[in-house]
Amino acid sequence: MKYAQDIETKDSAVPPPRKIPREIAVVGGSAAGLYAAGLLAQGGASVRVLESLDTLEPAARTLIVTHRMRDLLGAAVERSIVNEIRRFELFTDGRSAAVSLKNPDLIVERRALIQMLAESARHAGAKIELGKRFQALRADGRGLALEFERSGDGAREEVRADAVIGSDGAASRVARSAGWAPLDTAPLIQAIVPLPKGMAPDTVRVWFIPRDTPYFYWLIPESPERGALGLIGESGPEARRRLEEFMEKRGFEPIAFQGARVPVYSNWVPIRKRLGQGSIYLVGDAAAQVKVTTVGGTVTGFRGALGVARLILNGGRSAELHRLRRELDLHLLLRRSLHRFEQADYSRLVDLLNDRAKRSLAEYSRDEAWKLLWRVCLRQPRLALLGLRGLLMGRRAAARPGE
């Protein structure tokens, strides 16, 4: 993995290197946490990853990410990729549109990704300790003291560190212990289903049905035989009921279910706090580094981890974190518009996707939102007016008392 290159060459506007904290504890073996651990270890830091699970085998979940992940992780990521997506089909109210991708999206099995990142972090010099559940942290005269409970015997263990990275998910115990506010979350649920006859395994299908979800349904092929059919809901039981109704109506038979609570980005979460002589950072889902348009956080979590590693190793501000904040804020603006869309609005959106707008969607990924939005609006200005209408509807609704 290109750890050293990522740290040393991609951020030219950083201050000269400063003293690296002697001991860094990464709490949580998430994808973002393991990536940060590898970057820091490669940069010369002494890093310990402390994970509550007894094995690095998290619950299986099919993920779709942009090709940007290859740029960040290099050749090692290939072991976790199970499929590539080159086309999207959009459906709404009897209408449809197809968009081909210049650079394919990647279908990743999360468990394989975690194991690959753990192996790379170990190779870079990080230590990974399993079966240690975080309990609390406090400042002492030398830095930070963290308390863990061992899963085997329930015994308590204290770990000392100069810096701590919380990478323990949307319900981060590190964040709560350090005084960050709880994050809003939404339920993600998907069923593994056989693909419909004749469906190409390199094509994702998306359905916009706002009476069911303000987001969308998706069917993501993970092989030529089966895929993940799911949605983001606003409550867990309701999302499961909607998904089951959708499957019954369209003749899908579930093989297995996958689910999670995912953070919903509502504003930029400051990623650093000082506590005594130590520093605490958040990365990935713990910092809500998630594109709220699609509630996808794998690549943005890696970018947050890269930004934090640069802060620690190089000192000063991180240009990567600045760019990530701008990107997430734009996704938030888009989501505020889309959340007010009705079925007729999605029908107009699909109808407005002319060939020039589709070319923009093909050229730029979801992780290049500024370029994508600019190009699409330039090539189809009526899409900008449709989005503006959604924003104005949201403001009017917010101004009405009692809603």
Do 106 and 66 contact (CB within 8 A), yes or no? yes
pLDDT band of residue 395 (cuts 50, 70, 90) is very low
**Is the same domain home to 322 and 237?**
no
pLDDT band of residue 329 (cuts 50, 70, 90) is very high
Q: Is the pLDDT of residue 47 over 70?
A: yes
If you average pLDDT over every residue of the chain, what do you get? 86
In this structure, is residue 389 part of a structural domain?
Answer: yes
- Lowest-pLDDT range of 88-92, 157-161, 249-253, 345-349: 345-349
For residues 403 and 203, the model is more confident at 203
**Is the same domain home to 50 and 127?**
yes
**Is the same domain home to 158 and 13?**
yes
- Backbone phi, psi, residue 67, to 5°: -65, -10
In this structure, is residue 150 part of a structural domain?
Answer: yes
Q: What one-character DSSP code corresponds to residue 230?
A: E
Q: What one-character DSSP code corresponds to residue 160?
A: E
Domain boundary (208, 242, 263) is at 263
Residue 200, both tokens: 């190409």
**Is the same domain home to 219 and 353?**
no
**Is the same domain home to 151 and 121?**
yes
**Is the same domain home to 130 and 253?**
no
pLDDT in tens, 147-164: 999 998 889 999 999 999
Residue 211 maps to which CATH number? 3.30.9.10
To the nearest whole percent, how much of the chain has pLDDT over 90?
65
Distance from C-alpha of 290 to C-alpha of 8, rounded to nearest angstrom = 26
For range 224-249, the mean pLDDT: 94
Q: Is the pLDDT of residue 339 over 90?
A: no
For residues 388 and 45, the model is more confident at 45
In this structure, is residue 31 part of a structural domain?
Answer: yes
pLDDT in tens, 203-213: 999 999 999 99
From residue 88, give the alpha-carbon distance in Å to each of 97, 124, 202, 220, 249.
8, 37, 9, 10, 22
For range 105-120, the mean pLDDT: 94
pLDDT band of residue 371 (cuts 50, 70, 90) is low
Do 227 and 220 contact (CB within 8 A), yes or no? yes
Sheet harboring 278-282: ordered strands across?
Answer: 127-129, 46-50, 23-27, 163-166, 278-282, 272-275
Distance from C-alpha of 221 to C-alpha of 206, rounded to nearest angstrom = 12
Q: Identify the bridge partners of residue 16 per DSSP, sorted by sequence position.
A: none
Residue 92 amino acid letter:
T
Distance from C-alpha of 135 to C-alpha of 147, rounded to nearest angstrom = 5
Distance from C-alpha of 14 to C-alpha of 181, rounded to nearest angstrom = 30
In this structure, is residue 21 part of a structural domain?
Answer: yes
Q: Is the pLDDT of residue 374 over 60?
A: no
In this structure, is residue 103 part of a structural domain?
Answer: no
In this structure, is residue 101 part of a structural domain?
Answer: no
pLDDT in tens, 51-100: 999 998 887 788 999 999 999 999 888 999 999 999 999 999 888 989 89
- Lowest-pLDDT range of 9-23, 118-132, 295-309: 9-23
Residue 171 maps to which CATH number? 3.50.50.60
**Is the same domain home to 47 and 170?**
yes
Residue 11's domain comprises 3-59+110-183+264-330
- Indicate the SS3 state at residue 49: strand
pLDDT in tens, 123-143: 999 999 999 999 999 998 889
Provide the whole-model pTM.
0.88
**Is the same domain home to 153 and 291?**
yes
Q: Is the pLDDT of residue 31 over 80?
A: yes
In this structure, is residue 156 part of a structural domain?
Answer: yes
Query: What long-range pairs does 200-203 form, CB within 8 A, spacing at least 24?
Result: 200/87, 201/83, 202/83, 202/84, 202/85, 202/86, 202/87, 202/104, 203/85, 203/86, 203/87, 203/88, 203/89
Q: Is the pLDDT of residue 392 over 60?
A: no
Q: What pLDDT sits at residue 8?
A: 40
**Is the same domain home to 237 and 164?**
no
- Minimal CA–CA distance to 302: which of 77, 2, 69? 69
**Is the same domain home to 174 and 296?**
yes
Q: What one-character DSSP code corresponds to residue 291?
A: B
**Is the same domain home to 46 and 151?**
yes
Domain boundary (330, 353, 372) is at 330
* Other Cβ atoms closer than 10 A to 40: 29
pLDDT band of residue 398 (cuts 50, 70, 90) is very low
Decide the pairing of beta strands 127-129 and 95-109. Answer: unpaired
Domain boundary (263, 279, 309) is at 263
Q: What pLDDT sits at residue 1?
A: 60
Residues 6+ apart with CB under 8 A from 20: 43, 44, 45, 312, 313
For range 374-390, the mean pLDDT: 50
Domain count, the chain: 3
**Is the same domain home to 254 and 378?**
no
In this structure, is residue 96 part of a structural domain?
Answer: no
